[in-house]
Amino acid sequence: MTPLSLSVEGLTKSFGGLSVIRDLSFTVPAGSATALIGPNGAGKSTAFNLITGVYRPDAGRIRLGGKDITGTPSRRRIGLGIARNFQNIRLMPHLSVLENLLVGQHVRAGGLIDLLTPYRLLPKHRWRAEALAALAECGLERHAAERVQGLPYGIRKRIDVVRATLSRPGLLLLDEPAAGLNPTETQALHRHLDMLRARGMTLLIVEHDMHFVGRTCGHVVVLNFGEKIAEGSLAEVQRDPLVREAYLGGMAA
């Protein structure tokens, strides 16, 4: 995988008369880990949807690795090196863990022959081998043949992250990856993300757990009501009066 930088420049989005994102700008350097935080309703998920092409911005630019992708359809952005998970797990419950991972590799199909190859039935197919190796790296290989619908929530969350990485993205967006995980599962997720960073993958993470953010991300962007109100290290933004007011209220701040 080749690490990719992300640059968001003056991004603006409204739905009807409601302004959700206003003049948002920030940069995620290639190979870094950045957190996008803020109170509920701050616009974090909308920003993710703009970056991945689910929504089209009303104004502004999105650059991936220096290339303007603002007008690129969402279905093509994964081929450019963007992958994401979702706050609500989107695995297919009736399929096995391995089958879900294989479906997640479809973007790497090089042509019609790849698409028509019954790779789920070929024990030595490279995608199958890579999917099993990815599970083994995370200590999840014992679940490969199990149906997703029968697995605990925390295991499904971690498998969803594994699936997002199998397209070999240069930029991985994670929406609340630690939500609902117990301490043991959270530590396993830390190790997984450390491994991805060591391989050069760029991370942009939405997360409410500040301990997780401090452990994972060197840079933090804070949103409130669709606007960036602070940026810097976690310690720096936690001392910012605007951030304290956004999270605690004016009198408490």
Tell me, what's the pLDDT at 89?
83
Asked if pLDDT for residue 64 goes beyond 90, the answer is yes
Structural domain 6-248, CATH architecture:
3-Layer(aba) Sandwich (3.40)
Asked if pLDDT for residue 162 goes beyond 50, the answer is yes
Q: Beta 33-37 vs 67-68: how paired, if at all?
A: unpaired
Q: Are 126 and 175 in contact (CB under 8 A)?
A: no
Q: Which residues have CB under 8 Å from 108's CB, separation 6+?
A: 114, 127, 167, 168
What is the phi-psi region of residue 150: left when phi exceeds 0, alpha when psi lies from -120 to 50, beta otherwise?
Answer: alpha
Closest CA to 3 of 238, 196, 231, 161: 196
Q: Let me know how long the chain is.
A: 253
- Lowest mean per-residue pLDDT among 92-96, 107-111, 154-158, 240-244: 107-111
pLDDT tens digit sequence for 131-159: 899 999 999 999 999 999 999 999 999 99
Closest CA to 228 of 29, 42, 19: 42
Q: Beta 6-15 vs 227-232: how paired, if at all?
A: unpaired
Domain positions in the chain are 6-248
Q: Are 165 and 134 in contact (CB under 8 A)?
A: yes
d(CA 23, CA 79): 27
pLDDT tens digit sequence for 200-225: 899 999 999 999 999 999 999 999 99
Is the C-alpha dihedral spanning 77, 70, 64, 23 positive or negative?
negative
With a threshold of 0.75, does the pTM exceed it? yes
